[in-house]
Amino acid sequence: MTKNTRFIFATLSALLILILTAVPIYAQNPTPTPAPAGPTLKSLRSRNLLVCGINQDQIGLGYLDPNSGDVVGLQVDLCRALAAAIFGDAAAVEFPPYSTTDAAVAALKSGAADLIIQNTPWTLTADTSGFEFGPPIFYSGEGIMVRADGGAKTWTDLNRKAVCVVKNSIAEAQIVKYAAEQKTTIQLISPAFDTLQDAWQALRDGRCDALSAERLQLLILRKRASDSQSYFVWDGPNDVYTHEPYAPMLRNDDEQWANIVRWTMLGLVKAEQLGITSETVDSLLRQVDPKTNTPEPDADYIARVGAERAHFLDPLLGLGSSLGIAPDFMRPAIIAVGNYGEIYARHFGANADLPLARGLNNLASKDGLMYAPDWR
Locate the domains of the chain by residue range.
39-137+246-366, 142-242
> Right CATH number for 142-242 from 3.90.1150.10, 3.40.190.10, 3.30.565.10, 2.60.40.10?
3.40.190.10
Residue 366 CB partners (closer than 8 Å, separation 6+): 358
Sign of CA dihedral 179, 181, 182, 183: positive
Instruction: Please state which of the four CATH numbers 3.30.1450.10, 1.10.760.10, 3.40.120.10, 3.40.190.10 is assigned to the domain occupying 39-137+246-366.
Output: 3.40.190.10
Q: Count H helices and E strands in the chain, helices first.
A: 13, 15
39-137+246-366 and 142-242 in the same fold: yes
**194 CB-contact burial (10 Å; exposed 0-12 / middle 13-18 / buried 19+):** exposed
DSSP assignment, residue 67? T
For residue 16, what pLDDT is reported? 39
Q: Which amino acid is at 299?
A: A
- Under DSSP, is residue 188 helix (H, G, I), strand (E, B) or coil? strand
Residue 32 is predicted with a pLDDT of 64
Separation between Cα atoms, residue 160 and residue 145, nearest integer Å: 16
Per-residue model confidence (pLDDT) at position 27: 40
251-301 pLDDT, tens digit per residue, is 999 999 999 999 999 999 999 999 999 999 999 999 999 999 999 999 999
CB-based burial of residue 72 (10 Å sphere; 0-12 exposed, 13-18 middle, 19+ buried)? Answer: buried
Low-confidence ranges of the chain (pLDDT < 50): 1-29
pLDDT digit string (tens) for 148-184? 999 999 999 999 999 999 999 999 999 999 999 999 9
**Cα separation of 89 and 335, whole Å?**
10
One-letter amino acid identity for 327? P
Cα separation, 212 vs 216, whole angstroms: 11
Q: What are the angstrom distances between the C-alpha of 227 and each of 67, 68, 112?
A: 22, 26, 41
CA angle at residue 258 from 253 to 264, to 5 degrees?
165
Give the largest Cα separation in the chain, rounded.
97
Average pLDDT of the chain is 90
Is residue 62 within 8 Å of 220, Cβ to Cβ? no
Share of the chain above pLDDT 70, in %: 91
How far is Cα 375 from Cα 315, in angstroms, rounded to an integer? 15
